[in-house]
């Protein structure tokens, strides 16, 4: 009886985790800028994988296996938000713009300041605008 209840609960957790992962994938495709996409990927991804690992811990009949699953959940919950924060901070420092509908820019001191000597036009070069790469305008 208990095994049946644990199996049903694990199945529900896996379905919920899959739904969170699907929402994260949809958010990565549809959200307007790198910051909101990163938010969707880190939050929903860690919750989705945490639910799947919790389902594993519930149905495993081995104590060490359940302990490993719980340790992996803790690892996800500690590292995913931290890495997303650091990636967003680096993207902001490099100069990725926030979406126009963003309400508040709390880090203007990290904005990129361009010097006139950086490039001939005083602007940062566009990505993939390097000369000398095979197949890009050289014959």
- Condensed to tens digits (0 to 9), the pLDDT of residues 44-55 reads 888 999 999 999
DSSP readout, 95-118?
Answer: TPPPPTT------GGGS----TTS
- Letter string b/e over residues 101-129, b meaning 16 or more CB atoms within 10 A of that residue's CB: eeeeeeeeeeeeeeeeeeeeeeeeeeeee
18-44 per-position pLDDT tens digit: 999 998 889 889 888 888 888 888 888
The whole-model pTM stands at 0.66
């Amino acid at each position: 009886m208990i095994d049946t209840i644990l199996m049903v609960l694990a199945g529900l957790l896996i379905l919920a985790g899959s739904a969170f992962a699907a929402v994260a994938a949809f958010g990565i495709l549809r959200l307007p800028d790198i910051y909101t996409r990163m938010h969707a990927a880190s939050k929903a991804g860690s919750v989705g994988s945490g639910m799947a690992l919790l389902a594993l811990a519930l149905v495993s009949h081995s104590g060490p296996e359940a302990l490993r699953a719980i340790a992996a959940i803790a690892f996800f919950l500690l590292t995913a938000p931290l890495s997303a924060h650091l990636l967003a901070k680096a993207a902001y420092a490099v100069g990725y713009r926030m979406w126009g509908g963003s309400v508040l820019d709390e880090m203007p001191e990290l904005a990129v300041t361009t010097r006139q000597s950086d490039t001939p036009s005083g602007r940062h070069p566009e990505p993939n605008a390097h000369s000398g790469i095979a197949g890009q305008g050289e014959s």
